[in-house]
Each structure stands twice: as C-alpha cells, then as structure tokens.
Amino acid sequence: MSPPESRLFQAAVMQSWNAIVITDADLAAGCRVQIANPAFCAMTGYSPDELHGRPLTMLQGPETDPAVIAELRACLKEARFFEGTAINYRKDGSTYVVRWNITPVRDDDGVLTHFISVQRDISESVRAEREIRLLARALDAASDPILVTDARERIIFANTAFAAVTGYAPEELLGKTPALFRSGKHDTAFYADLRESLARGADFRATFINQRRDGSLYHAEQSISPIYDEKGRVTHYVSVSKDISERVDMEQALRHAATRDTLTGLYNRRYGEHLIEDALTRADTSGEPLTLLVCDIDHFKRINDGFGHPTGDQVLRDTARILSQSVRSRDAVIRWGGEEFVILLDACPRGPAVELAERIRLRIHQHRHVEVGQVSLSIGLATRMPGESMEALIGRADAALYEAKRSGRNRLALAPLP
C-alpha cells in the first residue's frame, strides 16, 4: 500500500462515524486492541491508551450473552466473518447494546494477522423497539377493542378484544379496511360526518352499528382519531371502542316495555296518547288532515265466556296482527284497552281513510280463528276538524263506533262532518 493510500485508509478509519477497532489475531491472548478510532473510544468510554494492548473481553460483563460470545470465538478460531449483537459495558460500568461484525485480515501470504471490527451502539433503537413491543402488548391486553390503520385506512393492528368482539382473527384483518364491518345501518351522511371530522383533525365519536364475521350486529361506542408525524401529516388512524350491545338491548327492552302492550305488541294507550298529541301538533303546522279510527271486537265477552281467556287473548293477538299488516308504515296502531283499538292515520284525509277502514273490517271478518271461527269488528271514523283537541277527536270517533254497534255491528260508521 502506497503512503497516500495508507494515509487515506487511516483517515477513513479514524473519521468513520461507526466505531472501528482493530485487534491482533492472537486468540490465546484474547485478540488485543491495536487501533481504536474516536467513535469506538466515545462508545466505550475508554481512551486509546487504555484500550491499546488489552483484549476486548474487558467490555464484557454479567449481562453479556454467553451464547453470542461462544459463537464469536468459534468464528474467530476458524477465521470466519462474524456478525452479532450483545450487551457490553462501558468504562463507567453502564451497559449498551452493540451490533458488530468482525472480518479476518490476512497478509500478502494469506497468513491471518488481525481482525477488524465495525461496531454500532444500537441501545436507543433497541430501547425504542422494546417500548413499541411493550406498547403493542399493552394495547393487546386492553379490555376495550382497539384498531389501528395506516393513512389509507388499511388495518395494521387489531387487539385481542377487537378480535373477540368482531369474530375475526387479528391476522384476518391485516390489510383490510374498516368497511369490512359496515352493517348498512348508517346512511351516507353519517360517513360524510366521519370523514369531515377527521379531515379537519378532529376526533370522531359516535355509536356505530357494526357487523361481526358471522353477520350478526353489535353496537359500539367508538372514537376515531388521526395520528400525525412531525411534519403534521396524517400517518395513521386509531379507533378505540366499547361494545355496548348489552346496554342497547336493555334500553330497547325498557323502551319497549314503556311503549308497548305486553299481550299484543302494539303501542299501549299511554304512549298512543303521546303519538296522537304529536300528530295533532304536526297537523297544526302542516295543515294536513288527520283521521282516527276507533275499533272494537264485536261480542268479545261471549268469546271470553264461551272459549276462555286464553282463546280471547289469541283473538286479540290475531286482530292486532291483522291491523298492523293493514295500515301504512307511517300509521300507528294502539291497543286502547280491553278489546278496543285506536288507529292513527297521519296525514290521511277522510276518503282514503274510509277505504282503509273498510279493508280492515273485511280482513278481520274474513279471517277464521281455529276455535272461535269468524270474528267481526265495528269501527268509528273521525277526521280531525281544525283546532280540535285529542279528547274531542277521540270522542267523535267513539260516538261513531257506538253508532256502528247500534246499527248491527261489523260495520264502519263515520262521525258527521261539521
């Protein structure tokens, strides 16, 4: 090697950002340090003089992995390239994680003369990896379902709780998007709000109705947040949710109990009065007509007395079913009490209401009960007059019902027009 090349080699070694140390090849003496560059001295805390002539075993300690050292010695003995990671000790006794490779050096005659080792302190990256693994374990151990996606909404992490709620194994979800859980229960406005919130950097919180792997639905209180890098760019989204299906089911059960008749499943009278009052308020604002039907099963006492109350209850349930199937989706069928029903025909003028009432009467009469046979229904109809109260409207429909009864039953009677 020419003097210029030698100087260049020396400069490259001494100015290298990586720690470089050159030892002799005397394995019996432990391969003593010949040259240590400034980066190596800074990493170990030793000066060049303190290192020179001493074996690098001085950097080992209790936490140094014996298996790595055994592999290192085997490679040195066979003059093979070595690469490994271990815990070393600085002069002050502190530890660091070093990643290093060792290359045997031979002279022109092929005789092994030295080993050159290029080393790097990877303590910070190892610590960061450990923290990431710890965070991943913590997220996985969390009781609430957690989902993380990249900026393109592809799933990169789902914890055990999320997998348990959705029925998907975590590995099944990787690379998919949260669209996998859409149930079809949310409209486009819901998802537009979600995207608008995330686009302006705000969290999005809502109750989602999601679909599990088996197709069943569940309710989740869910919070979705964007994650930014140091330049303010969105890199990921994290979703934390809570399965509230049990709570929703309980609330729905309580709401059903508060608004529904236990025997027929129709609206009960208390809630029915509330529906009628709301309809009257809307009618006052919109000016649309509103019609009320009051229906009564004819000779119901005879059914109870002759066939027993269980049969009477079945007649009530069958009647409720036919009434519900006969009205429009916007109408409300109410069990008013006993064998009496009220039907609220919202935004329905007198003419169409009469046609609907007649269809109902005929369907009831055409239906044959297993034990009772034919059952008939008497109906009173009243279309609301401007400003008329609920009590007055029901009173007129009730009077029409009694007229239908008095006229022979199984008929429709209309409240007189003003």
Is the domain of 158 the same as that of 198?
Answer: yes
Tell me the C-alpha to C-alpha distance, in Å, between residue 130 and each of 43, 123, 136, 146, 338: 21, 10, 10, 20, 71
Q: What is the CATH number of the domain that holds 388?
A: 3.30.70.270
Decide if 399 is inside a domain: yes
C-alpha distances (whole Å) from 356 to each of 120, 292, 407 are: 87, 11, 20
CA dist 265 and 287 (Å) reads 31
Whether residues 132 and 213 share a domain: the answer is yes
Q: Are 24 and 101 in a shared domain?
A: yes
Domain shared by 284 and 409, yes or no: yes
Q: Which of 174, 150, 176, 153 is nearest to 229 (CA)?
A: 150
- Predicted TM-score of the model (pTM): 0.53
Count of domains observed in the chain = 3
| Distance of alpha carbon 403 from the chain centroid | 58
Catalytic residue, candidates 339, 340, 355, 358:
339
| Residue 63: domain span | 3-121
- 381, 409 Cβ separation under 8 angstroms: no
One digit per residue, the tens of pLDDT, for the chain of length 418 reads 566 767 777 777 787 888 999 999 998 888 999 999 999 999 999 999 999 999 999 999 999 999 999 998 899 889 899 999 999 999 999 999 999 999 999 988 889 999 999 999 988 888 888 877 777 787 787 888 989 999 899 998 899 899 999 999 989 999 999 999 999 999 999 999 998 998 888 899 999 999 999 999 999 999 999 988 888 888 899 999 998 888 877 877 777 778 899 899 999 999 999 999 999 999 999 889 999 999 999 999 999 999 999 999 999 999 999 999 999 999 999 999 999 999 999 999 999 999 999 999 999 999 999 899 999 999 999 999 999 999 999 999 999 999 999 999 999 999 987 6
266 lies in the same domain as 378: yes
Establish whether 339 is a catalytic residue.
yes
Whether 60 contacts 69, CB under 8 Å: yes
